[in-house]
Amino acid sequence: MTDIQKKPELLAPAGSLDVLKTAVSYGADAVYIGGDHYGLRAKAKNFTMEEMAEGIKYAHAHNVNVYVTSNIIAHNQDLIGAENYFKELESIGADALIVADPGILHIAKQVVPDMPIHLSTQANNTNYLSALFWHNQGVERIVVARELSLEEIAEIRRKTPLSLTLEAFVHGAMCISYSGRCLLSNYMTGRDANKGDCAQSCRWRYHLVEETRPGQYMPIEETERGTYIYNSKDLCMIDHIPELVKAGIDSFKIEGRMKTSFYVGSVVKVYREAIDDFFTDPDLYESKKAYYLEEVAKFSHRDYTKGFYFNKPLGTEQIYTHNTYIRGYSFAGTVLDYNPETRVALIEQRTKFSVGDEIEFIPYKESSFKQKIEALWDEEGNPIGSAPHPKQIVRLKVSRPVEKNILVRKKDSEETK
């Protein structure tokens, strides 16, 4: 393709070593992770320094970069120990630091001057002059604010040097507050969103209380739909790859450091396929849009939105009726091994399945394929009718060869949705 820019990086989240390896296996070009300090996902499993070293080594062996989040809005006490932490990250080979706070940036530039610095969306970068300002401070990449349109991002791209790369979220949870700057959780629960401990107070159900009628809770209803007034839909741009590329975005970022390996692997796989299809043949990509949208509907999500990319969000971008996820499929298990002679796969179960059920294997590169379970055996080879126990090891015959560690899913019944 000669009339468009280079293929963008596909950047995946990882809250644990297992998720990192899954993201790498399913085609991520880079992974962003957090350590025990300075990141904005305090409730994620996060990585010890030893796990980060192992994850970086694994990723680099597969030509994948690893970026480490250090994007809290720091108070004085948060600066203590940052120097040694950044030096350790440099020593284990981290490819970049993601920061938001000027003080944290200052420390990083002082102690690890050769470490690439990415500016977090938490820094609220919404225009080309602020992008140039941060670039002059040594920032090599801007994660643009979620509140920008594609047109605004394209203007930033035109008015900044190519030595400054642009990263933007393309999939995952949206925030009700401006680029994540929120005090609602801190005010209501004492958990500071700007230090990674958000209680997601925006997704709770709210009522009104009139001051002379304590205890009488009146629902807040713009219509009959409900009362989840702050609850935003999830972002999904899988059907707008050409527009994202044309805007000059260098890195497509998936949200979700709290998510499971099943979620991350599933999202990475479909975006990898969509990006590769577009750069192989735009007509192929266009012909497969319905398929991509069908795939992103299969894993856990809220109703989807295009965020700010095309228009300012209106009331329709909120979910008023519930704060739960839509889930079409469940994580059925992981392939531990495969015997090509017997065509039998060894699977670690995650959701109950039985003889007669249909499951779906998710290969790393090829299309997913469905398989009806004709027979099941336990780990010792004894016939069984179902696998009801969490992490139960079972054997089943498959119609095609399968790779180790690929994911297996199962369509939810109406009763389990």
At 366, list the tokens. Answer: 């090829």
Structural domain includes residue 398: yes
Whether 20 and 154 map to the same domain: the answer is yes
Report the CATH number that the domain containing residue 14 is assigned in CATH: 3.20.20.70
Report the CATH number that the domain containing residue 398 is assigned in CATH: 2.40.30.10
- Strands (E) located in 49-164: 65-70, 96-99, 117-119, 141-143
Asked whether the beta carbons of 109 and 117 are under 8 A apart, the reply is: yes
Structural domain includes residue 130: yes
Number of Cβ within a 10 Å radius of residue 388: 12
Write the CB contacts of 396 (distance below 8 Å, at least 6 apart in sequence): 344, 345, 347, 371, 373, 374, 375, 376, 377
Whether 365 and 311 map to the same domain: the answer is no
Whether 30 and 54 map to the same domain: the answer is yes
- Residue 31 host element (H or E): strand 30-34
The closest of 206, 201, 285, 197 to 238, measured between CA atoms, is: 285
The closest of 156, 122, 157, 176 to 307, measured between CA atoms, is: 176
Structural domain includes residue 36: yes
Among residues 270, 286, 317, which one ends one of the domains? 317
Structural domain includes residue 216: no
Whether 169 and 313 map to the same domain: the answer is yes
Structural domain includes residue 227: no
Asked whether the beta carbons of 80 and 109 are under 8 A apart, the reply is: no
Asked whether the beta carbons of 338 and 345 are under 8 A apart, the reply is: yes
Asked whether the beta carbons of 71 and 60 are under 8 A apart, the reply is: no
Whether 294 and 338 map to the same domain: the answer is no
Whether 313 and 394 map to the same domain: the answer is no
Bridge partner list, 172? 235
pLDDT tens, position by position, for the chain (417 residues)? 334 478 999 999 999 999 999 999 999 999 999 987 665 444 445 789 999 999 999 999 999 999 999 988 888 988 999 999 999 999 999 999 999 999 999 999 999 999 999 999 989 899 999 999 999 999 999 999 998 999 999 999 999 999 999 999 999 877 766 666 666 667 667 776 666 666 676 666 666 777 788 877 766 655 554 455 666 778 999 999 999 999 999 999 999 888 899 999 999 999 999 999 999 999 999 999 999 999 998 887 677 788 889 987 665 655 555 555 567 889 999 999 999 999 999 999 999 999 999 999 999 999 899 999 999 999 999 999 999 998 999 999 999 999 999 999 999 875 454
Bridge partner list, 371? 359
Give the residue numbers spanning the domain of 373: 329-411
Whether 396 and 336 map to the same domain: the answer is yes
- Residue 228 host element (H or E): none
Whether 307 and 377 map to the same domain: the answer is no
Whether 285 and 164 map to the same domain: the answer is yes
Among residues 248, 283, 317, which one ends one of the domains? 317
Write the CB contacts of 202 (distance below 8 Å, at least 6 apart in sequence): 175, 176, 177, 182, 184, 230, 231, 232
Whether 313 and 340 map to the same domain: the answer is no
Structural domain includes residue 358: yes
Q: How many structural domains does the chain have?
A: 2
Whether 339 and 239 map to the same domain: the answer is no
Among residues 288, 317, 346, which one ends one of the domains? 317
* pTM reported for the whole predicted model: 0.86
Structural domain includes residue 220: no
Decide the pairing of beta strands 165-173 and 376-378: unpaired
Q: What sign results for the dihedral spanned by CA atoms 162, 165, 170, 175?
A: negative
Whether 273 and 406 map to the same domain: the answer is no
Structural domain includes residue 186: no
